[in-house]
Amino acid sequence: MTGRCGSLCPVKQAEIKVDTAWRKSRLAARLLIRKESRPLRPCEQALARRLSQDAEVTNRLIQQALYFLGVGPRKNAFDKKLVDGRN
């Protein structure tokens, strides 16, 4: 059994790096989902404004993030509610 450390040897975990555009798009999608259920707080509105001006955050990535977060089956109702809620 020589050469084996058992549980004493530290195991180096592989780092999974999510690209920043995808991370920001998921954040934007979460803000949209939150906006559907309640008004956004001022700090959330400021973050949404910043994300909307970011060139990395595209509509397509936000749409993919919405599907990833489970909005897919109710996409049409979700879109309609967001658009109807605009003033």
Res 87: pLDDT: 47
Secondary structure, 3-state, 4-54: CCCCCCCCCCCCCCCCHHHHHHHHHHHHHHHHHHCCCCHHHHHHHHHHHCC
More confident residue, 74 or 45: 45
Whether residue 85 is contained in a domain is answered as no
In a domain, 30, yes or no: yes
Q: Is residue 84 one of the residues assigned to a domain?
A: no
> Which tens digits make up the pLDDT trace of 12-45?
666 666 688 999 999 999 999 999 889 999 999 9
Domain contains 11: no
Please give the pLDDT value at position 18.
62
Contact 25, 58 (CB under 8 A): yes
Count structural domains, the chain. Answer: 1
CA dihedral 39, 43, 47, 49 (to 10 degrees): 70
Domain-embedded: residue 83? no
In a domain, 51, yes or no: yes
- Picking from 1, 6, 52, the residue whose alpha carbon sits closest to that of residue 44 is 52
**Host domain of residue 68:** 20-72
Task: Examine residue 50 and state whether it is found in any structural domain, yes or no.
Answer: yes
**Does some domain include residue 59?**
yes
